[in-house]
């Protein structure tokens, strides 16, 4: 599931001449994906005001992308290994840019949601190729520094992106309103495409690599049947078919597990399904990211719909979260993870619960007069907890898998990260919008309680994880 089965840097005699430009190209794709994810979460409320569609629009504008991305990731990396990573990178870049234009020009909620789903699918072709492409062009002596550039770039994008998006939406540039957040991707996409054509060398894939599309379809169906009724059920009064879909989702997940054990080219290494530590990690990652994404969506919706914040004010109110996460990931995790191991995750999830509680207390204390700066302390605590809990989670979970399982385990955890975010949008968003008529404070409190429940579930599963991360976690 993870790209990177081609030649290693040690097998090449000379480094690629344009390798640093190739790195910049891959980072451009990462920035495009990250900006799209963070800014759209912020702009969901203005989109609903413009296009209509109610609460379902807000949830699906965010959830359609993450759900499609999660489903596509199941095969994205393997398709790159099979047909060539540069080829898939080009297809993904072109598709993501075109889908962004489709989102920007949508004048109907259903068209926008479909375009967001297309963005997620082509993004799942684009993003998994990045690390493999970097391994292809950098020698072993430079590979660590090249990989290390991802952290600062992604951290800076997560802090600056929402503020930039909020400023552009609030300024109503050229009368475009929220549409400008998708048009940002067009120049980045064109530059990334040119960089890929000029600086990334073509390398053949492995025609002998076998792919199991049926397993991917089963997993995709199970995921869709889990999320769809959770979002649509409240809007439609929970008809019988919503419960039938949930039951079918469980059956499909079971069917998928049994199919993987018999498949000649499994999507997931069958041994992972018998690994208690890894299965515990699956739960930790799914629940933790559900809490983080669900809480963020509800917070952005509350500040704009109930408090009347502009997109820029909402971005400022939530900016301390990204800052706290970046600080904890950069300064704390590297020093504390080797010493604390899985206990660092437990500390992080506990801090996230505290941050969610402080957020609710701020809302109770200030009510409708809450100013954006009042949310900064709660956001910072929640962000520090995310930096301690979410960022090192992959390294800790991978500490319990064999070397031959790392690629499959990494790919599955990336997909579950996205699926968990979609689940959080469905559950926390549904509770918030269901209780909104009773008052926004009660609705936020209930949604924050759901996020805290997710985190407590993740906290309970931490004890099943390996005590220490993989040696190469740094």
DSSP for 87-127?
A: HHHHHHHHHHHHHHHHHHT--SHHHHHHHHHHHHHHHHHHT
CATH code at position 357: 1.20.1250.20
The pLDDT, as a whole number, for residue 186 is: 92
Label residue 332 by pLDDT band (50, 70, 90): low
| Number of domains, the chain | 2
Q: How would you label 293-312 residue by residue, b for 16+ Cβ within 10 Å and e otherwise?
A: bbbbbbbbbbbbbbbebbbb
Instruction: Please check whether residue 12 lies inside any domain of the structure.
Output: yes
| Dist. CA 36–CA 99, nearest whole Å | 11
DSSP state of 470: -
Instruction: Please check whether residue 431 lies inside any domain of the structure.
Output: yes
The label of the residue with tokens 């800076």 reads 156
| Dist. CA 78–CA 84, nearest whole Å | 10
- Say whether both 277 and 205 belong to one domain: no
End residue of a domain, out of 171, 196, 211:
211
Instruction: Please check whether residue 241 lies inside any domain of the structure.
Output: no
- Say whether both 196 and 275 belong to one domain: no
Instruction: Please check whether residue 50 lies inside any domain of the structure.
Output: yes
- Would the pLDDT of 102 be above 90? yes
Report pLDDT digits (tens) over 138-166: 887 777 677 767 767 776 777 777 788 78
Most confident by average pLDDT, 69-78, 329-338, 345-354: 345-354
The pLDDT, as a whole number, for residue 133 is: 85
Give residue 322's domain range: 271-474
- The mean pLDDT value for 249-272 works out to 84
Selected residue with higher pLDDT from 356 and 269: 356
- Would the pLDDT of 245 be above 70? yes
Helix 240-262 vs helix 213-236: crossing angle, to nearest 10: 160
- Would the pLDDT of 472 be above 60? no
Instruction: Please check whether residue 348 lies inside any domain of the structure.
Output: yes
Selected residue with higher pLDDT from 55 and 61: 61
- Say whether both 119 and 1 belong to one domain: yes
| Dist. CA 21–CA 35, nearest whole Å | 21
Please report the beta strands in 259-327, taking only residues with DSSP state E, as ranges in sequence order. Answer: none
Instruction: Please check whether residue 234 lies inside any domain of the structure.
Output: no
Q: Among the listed ranges 55-64, 363-372, 409-418, which one has the minimum average pLDDT value?
A: 409-418
- The mean pLDDT value for 246-267 works out to 87
End residue of a domain, out of 178, 194, 211:
211
Q: Among the listed ranges 37-51, 222-236, 329-343, 454-468, which one has the minimum average pLDDT value?
A: 329-343
Provide the percentage of residues in the chain whose pLDDT is more than 90.
28
| Dist. CA 397–CA 282, nearest whole Å | 8
Nearest to 161, CA basis, from 143, 142, 181: 181
Average pLDDT value over all residues in the chain: 84
Provide the percentage of residues in the chain whose pLDDT is more than 70.
93
């Amino acid at each position: 599931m993870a790209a990177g089965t081609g030649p290693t840097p040690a097998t090449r005699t000379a480094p690629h001449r344009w390798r640093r430009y190739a790195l910049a190209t891959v980072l451009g794709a990462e920035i495009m994906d990250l900006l799209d994810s963070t800014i759209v979460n912020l702009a969901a409320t203005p989109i609903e005001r413009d296009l209509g569609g109610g609460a379902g629009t807000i949830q699906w504008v965010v959830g359609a992308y993450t759900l499609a991305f999660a489903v596509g990731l199941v095969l994205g990396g393997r398709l790159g290994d099979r047909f060539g990573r540069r080829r898939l990178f080009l297809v993904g870049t072109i598709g993501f840019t075109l889908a962004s234009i489709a989102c920007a020009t949508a004048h109907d909620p259903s068209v926008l949601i479909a375009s967001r789903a297309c963005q997620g699918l082509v993004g799942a072709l684009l993003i998994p190729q990045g690390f493999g492409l970097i391994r292809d062009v950098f020698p072993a002596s430079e590979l660590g520094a090249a990989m290390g550039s991802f952290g600062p770039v992604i951290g800076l994008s997560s802090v600056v992106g929402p503020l930039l998006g909020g400023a552009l939406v609030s300024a109503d540039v050229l009368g475009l309103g929220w549409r400008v957040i998708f048009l940002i991707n067009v120049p980045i996409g064109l530059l990334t495409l040119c960089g890929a054509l000029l600086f990334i060398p073509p390398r053949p894939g492995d025609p002998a690599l076998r792919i199991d599309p049926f397993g991917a379809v089963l997993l995709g169906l199970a995921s869709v049947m889990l999320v769809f009724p959770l979002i649509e059920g409240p809007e439609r009064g929970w008809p019988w078919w919503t419960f039938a879909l949930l039951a079918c989702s469980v059956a499909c997940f079971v069917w998928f597990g049994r199919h993987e054990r018999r498949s000649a080219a499994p999507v997931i290494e069958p041994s992972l399904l018998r690994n208690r530590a890894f299965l515990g990690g699956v739960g930790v990652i799914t629940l933790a990211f559900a809490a983080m994404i669900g809480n963020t969506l509800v917070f952005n919706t509350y500040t704009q719909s109930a408090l009347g914040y502009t997109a820029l004010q909402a971005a400022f109110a939530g900016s301390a979260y990204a800052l706290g996460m970046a600080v904890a990931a950069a300064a704390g995790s590297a020093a504390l993870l080797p010493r604390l191991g899985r206990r660092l995750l437990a500390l992080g999830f506990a801090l996230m619960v505290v941050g969610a509680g402080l957020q609710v207390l701020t809302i109770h204390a200030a009510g409708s007069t809450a100013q954006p700066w009042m949310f900064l302390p709660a956001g910072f605590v929640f962000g520090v907890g995310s930096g301690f809990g979410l960022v090192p989670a992959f390294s800790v979970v991978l500490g319990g898998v064999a070397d031959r399982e790392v690629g499959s385990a990494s790919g599955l955890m990336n997909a579950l990260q996205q699926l968990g975010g979609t689940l959080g949008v469905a559950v926390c968003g549904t509770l918030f919008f269901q209780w909104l008529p009773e008052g926004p404070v009660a609705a936020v409190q209930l949604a924050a309680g759901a996020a805290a429940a997710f985190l407590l579930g993740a906290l309970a599963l931490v004890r099943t994880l390996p005590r220490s991360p993989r040696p190469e976690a740094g």
